[in-house]
Structures are given as structure tokens and as C-alpha cells.
A and B are shown apart, each in its own frame.
Chain A
Amino acid sequence: MNVLECKNLYKSYGTGRYVLENMSLSLPAGRIVGLLGPNGCGKSTLMKTVAGLLMPDSGAVSVAGTPVGEETKALVSYLPERTYFNSWMRVGDLVEYFADFYRDFDSGKAKGLLSDLHIDPSDRLKSLSKGTKEKVQLILVMSRRARLYLLDEPIAGVDPAAREYILSTIVGNYDPDSTILITTHLIADVEPVLDEFLFMGYSGKILRAGTADAVREETGMSLDALFREVFRCSANC
């Protein structure tokens, strides 16, 4: 059974233009997949739809065989592109908050990751830098034992050293039963951790898919170089 199944998804924001137009996608278990595409092509819309935060106009989305809804929130761990926590909360409060909310949350793991990144649980969120807030959010999301992780730009705001640590954490979290879908513009950084990539053009059209190593073998280009080529001219998108 596929961890994620999208069938003939349509989504518009009422502007007469489809952000996702007849989009279909299947992801099996045990993969780390990069969802790569230009700004505004529908990556975040797709993630929000899979997370159950947006309703598609039509089409079906299911996670581990269950149609997206209340039940799938227990299966999906979603990292939004923006932080949504209340700034008066302390980091430690958030760990408890997540432990209350999600049965699959591992507080011990979260505390270990926080200490590795020298984040003090007694600090209030408002006292943290933007990058540190992003690290906290990623730690919370990765400390769940979910079937599907949706990471929307997980490393964009953090320094290169933390980026490495975060990518190692993602790899260390690898589990044959779960799948991780990552969007990013930092393709060169993320390429080594991916099993597969998807190039998404406008309206959610999948233009190219495969493994990064196959791209290198067949075209002699890195994924980053191929991305620049595929999305260079707007006629292709």
C-alpha cells in the first residue's frame, strides 16, 4: 500500500486558475523524496492538501490507504513553511504540547535533538532567532513516528552547520515504513539524502521524476544543474 496516493487533484483559490490541475502522485513506503519546482508551482498547496489543511476542489488524497481527514492527522507530520507557534511559549512547553497532541511523539528524542543544537528548553520562542525557531519546529516534527513527513523548506532559514545536522537527522530517522517528502530550493544540499526527486512545474504538473544518481549517470549533470536547465525558460513550466 502506498503511503501517499493523490488522484486527479484539482485545487484553485477562486481566481479562475488551477494551482493543482489534474495532479496524480503515488509514493511508496521507505522513500525520501524531493519535491522540487519554481516558486508558485503548487508545492506548498499540495502539502497543505495532504496535511488536511486545504480541501481540494475535486480528486482524492489518501495516506496509508485512509482518505485525508481527521484520522490521517495522526499519520502525517507536517512542517509548514512558516512557524505557527505562540511566541510567549517556552520551547519545553511546546515539547509537552506535542506530547499531549500526538500519541506517536517521542519527548526523549526531541529533548536529545534540542540539546544537540544547544537550544535551552526554558527559552521563550520570542527570544529565539528565526533560524532557531525553525530548528525547534523541525525537531518537533521529526520527533514523531509518523508514516508520512511533509517538510516544506526545512533548511532554508538555518545556517550551513545546522543544515548538515538536520539532514543527518532526517537520514537517521529513515524507516522502511514511512516516507519523507521534502520541498526545497537548496537542491545541492539536499540531493545526497534523496531516493527520488520530482520536478513540479506550474499547475502541479510533474515534468520529470527519477533518482538523482540516474540523472548524473544519464546526463552528467547534478540535480541542481538539471533543475536550472529544465526551469530556465518559462515555456517549459
Chain B
Amino acid sequence: MAWSFHERAPVYVQIADRLRNAILKGEYSPGEQIPPVRQLAVTAAVNPNTVQRAVGELEAEGILVSRTTQGCYVTEDAAVLARAQQNAAKKLIADFARQAGELSLDRDTVIHMLQEEMTDECTGM
């Protein structure tokens, strides 16, 4: 199934986001090899050079480590993964805060609603 992309960001950024999320969700474990660029390109129906650029971004972030001629692996450095998780959470919360602000809700109401939502989430309701 080809991946779909929205219009607001470059395709390579969206691929990097998607791979980063897959790693943070544990779809790929620390030390595990991710599929080769070519295979990802065919699955996603995306240009291989664009996929390579996304992989390059994740290498620069330290989330992926390439071993020459052996492909790319998820880092085993727990600190790097923890930082990536923090960054992803920060971004999510910043988006949420901005959108909540646009609804002109007061801060306490939003925090209260968020707490309730997360309690429901945890108890599986």
C-alpha cells in the first residue's frame, strides 16, 4: 500500500516522521535492522533518493546507525531514543496547545479536559 502524503511538508520530512514514529512505537526495536531503502521505496511508492534523504535525517539525529554495506539499524543508545521521544511529545503538545488556544478555551478547562481524557485512556474507557 503506497503511503499518502499531505501538502504541508516536504515528502522526505514526512517519511522521516513516519519512520521515527515507527521506531518510537517499538515497531523496530533497538539494534534491529530497518528494511533497505529500495524496499521502503517500493512499499511507499516513493523515489529511492527521497527515502535515502529521510534515512539520512534519522542518522543525523542518531536514531539510525548505518553500518557500511550492511544497512541501517535502530540505535541501541537509550539516551538518544529517550530524547527523540521527548522531542516527539513536545511537538505534539505544542501543536495541541496552539490548537486549544485557537478555540479560546481557558487554560484550566483545557488541562482539566486533558486529565479526564487521559484517565479514560488509561482505564480503557
B-binding residues in A (CB < 8 A): 32, 164, 167-168, 171-172, 174, 191-195, 212-213, 216-217, 220-222, 224-225
Contacts and interface: CB of A to CB of B under 8 A. Distances in A.
Nearest to B4: A192
A212 B50 CA distance: 10
Contacts of A222: 7
Interface of B: 1-3, 5, 7-12, 38, 41-50, 53
| Nearest 3 Cβ contacts at the A-B interface | A213-B10, A164-B2, A222-B7
Given A167-B45, A213-B12, A220-B8, A174 B50 contact: no
Nearest to A170: B45
A168 B49 contact: no
Nearest to A31: B49
Contacts of A192: 2-3, 5, 11, 44-47, 50
A216 B6 CA distance: 11
A216 to B, nearest CB: 4
B2 to A, nearest CB: 4
A188 B75 CA distance: 34
| Most chain A beta carbons < 10 A, residue from B8, B11, B43 | B11
Interface centre among A193, A195, A224 (most CB of B within 10 A): A193
A222 B108 CA distance: 39
Q: Which of B1, B3, B8, B49 has the most chain A CB atoms inside 10 A of its CB?
A: B49
